[in-house]
């Protein structure tokens, strides 16, 4: 009897382990999803600015041309510890210069490293998962034109149990979606804006509050959130809270001036430095989408 109980317990434990391993496994993109596409570096530069890679991967306080040197080092404080952006420049050892398109796309759209480990979601792959494969192929083409930096990576300062990457597999099952946060009919401008804002510029990563596990609360999209730096709040920008005109929003995304000519600071200044490189229609499209985000939907 005892032995039977024990073996039943062992069997259950084994099932749990197998299920756990299965649930937390790293899933790459389907083979060839991005790697089979020819990339265009000129278009890739637009994707680069829309996606805001430089905001995190350029050295802290880099400005102008220096934002193209993706040396890493920026710190991201969170409830789970402090993360540091790695060197993702084209340096063959210190950066990702030896990667191919498939490895790049798996990292950016699935949060999976070449070795098959999960990345922490502070790298906003949950947003980039929604991007068009062609955009990622273009981005990689542009990436390969960028300079190398030999800056060394700083290890994350994250305690147990969050230092076990395997667990992120479960997180991904809960929070990486294959559909947009904002559903429902949108006009064609707002639809383009939704693609830019949700798949690339990841506005929600800052402007949407998170739940206890650090996942975005899609029911409170753009409702504002505590600033992860621990000081102040990131403002709500849904249509209940932000009563700026479409033009005012679009112009703010280009020059950082609010309708009262206060000037954006915080991480928004860096977002604007990226978006200023996009064509005006794109900022206008994002503005149309922002106005369509209504909490009472």
Partner 1 sequence: MQISTTRSFLLLAALTIGGAGIAIGQTEVPAAVKARQGQMQLQSFYLSTLGEMARGNIDYDADAAQASADSLVAIAAMDWDPLWPEGTATSEVEASRALPAIWTDAEGYAAAWDAFGTAAAAVQGVAGGGLDGLRAEMGALGQSCGGCHDDYRVSND
Using DSSP, state whether 257 is helix, strand or coil. strand
Residue with tokens 């559903």: 183
Q: How far is the CB of 31 from ligand HEC (least distance, A)?
A: 19
Q: Does 86 bind ligand HEC (CB under 6 A)?
A: yes
**C-alpha separations of 257 from 261, 275, 289 in Å:** 5, 13, 19
**Residue from 37, 112, 148, 249 binding ligand HEC (CB under 6 A):** 249
Q: Does 83 bind ligand HEC (CB under 6 A)?
A: yes
Instruction: Give the C-alpha separation, 281 to 40, whole Å.
Output: 20
Q: Does 26 bind partner 1 (CB under 8 A)?
A: no
Q: Cβ closer to ligand HEC: 9 or 275?
A: 275
Q: Does 272 bind partner 1 (CB under 8 A)?
A: yes
Q: Does 261 bind partner 1 (CB under 8 A)?
A: yes
**C-alpha separations of 108 from 8, 71, 96, 132 in Å:** 42, 17, 12, 12
**Beta-carbon contacts of residue 223 (< 8 Å; ≥ 6 apart):** 207, 208, 209, 217, 236, 238, 241, 295
Q: Does 253 bind partner 1 (CB under 8 A)?
A: no
Q: Count the residues of the shown chain that bind ligand HEC, applying the rule CB under 6 A.
A: 46
Q: Does 201 bind ligand HEC (CB under 6 A)?
A: yes
**C-alpha separations of 186 from 130, 183, 225, 289 in Å:** 17, 8, 25, 8
Q: Does 34 bind partner 1 (CB under 8 A)?
A: no
DSSP β-bridge partners for residue 75: 84
Phi, psi of 272, rounded to the nearest 5 degrees: -70, -35
Q: Does 209 bind ligand HEC (CB under 6 A)?
A: no
Q: Does 256 bind partner 1 (CB under 8 A)?
A: yes
Q: Cβ closer to ligand HEC: 120 or 221?
A: 120
Q: How far is the CB of 156 from ligand HEC (least distance, A)?
A: 6
Using DSSP, state whether 164 is helix, strand or coil. coil
Instruction: Give the C-alpha separation, 52 to 30, whole Å.
Output: 25
Q: How far is the CB of 81 from ligand HEC (least distance, A)?
A: 11
Q: Within 251-270, which residues bind ligand HEC (CB under 6 A)?
A: 252, 258, 261-268
Q: Does 224 bind partner 1 (CB under 8 A)?
A: yes
**Beta-carbon contacts of residue 143 (< 8 Å; ≥ 6 apart):** 44, 48, 90, 104
Where along the sequence are the contacts to ligand HEC (CB under 6 A)?
51-53, 55-57, 76, 83, 85-86, 88, 96, 107-108, 113, 119-120, 122-124, 128, 197, 201-203, 205-207, 234-235, 237, 242, 249, 252, 258, 261-268, 271, 286, 290
């Amino acid at each position: 009897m005892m032995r039977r109980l024990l073996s039943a317990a062992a069997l259950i434990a084994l099932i749990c382990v197998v299920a756990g391993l299965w649930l937390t496994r790293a899933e790459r993109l389907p083979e060839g999803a991005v790697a089979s596409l020819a990339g265009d570096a000129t278009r890739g530069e637009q994707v680069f600015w829309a996606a805001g890679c430089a905001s995190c991967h350029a050295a802290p306080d880099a400005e102008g041309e220096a934002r193209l040197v993706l040396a890493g080092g920026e710190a991201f404080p969170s409830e789970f510890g402090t993360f540091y952006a790695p060197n993702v420049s084209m340096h063959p050892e210190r950066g990702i210069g030896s990667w191919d398109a498939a490895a790049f796309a798996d990292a950016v759209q699935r949060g999976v490293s070449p070795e098959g480990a999960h990345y922490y979601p502070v790298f906003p792959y949950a947003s980039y998962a929604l991007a068009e494969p062609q955009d990622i192929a273009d981005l990689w083409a542009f990436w390969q034109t960028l300079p190398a930096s030999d800056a060394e990576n700083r290890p994350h300062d994250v305690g147990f149990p969050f230092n076990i990457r395997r667990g992120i597999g479960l997180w991904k099952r809960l929070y990486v979606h294959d559909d947009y946060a904002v559903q429902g009919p949108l006009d064609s401008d707002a639809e383009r804006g939704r693609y830019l804002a949700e798949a690339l510029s990841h506005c929600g990563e800052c402007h949407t509050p998170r739940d206890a596990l650090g996942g975005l609360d899609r029911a409170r999209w753009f409702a504002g959130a505590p600033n992860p730096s621990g000081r102040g709040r990131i403002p709500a920008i849904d249509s209940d809270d932000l009563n700026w005109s479409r033009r005012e929003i679009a112009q703010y995304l280009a020059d950082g001036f609010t309708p009262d000519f206060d000037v954006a600071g915080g991480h928004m200044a860096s977002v604007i430095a990226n978006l200023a490189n996009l064509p005006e229609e794109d900022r206008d499209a994002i503005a149309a989408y922002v106005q369509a985000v209504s909490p009472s939907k």
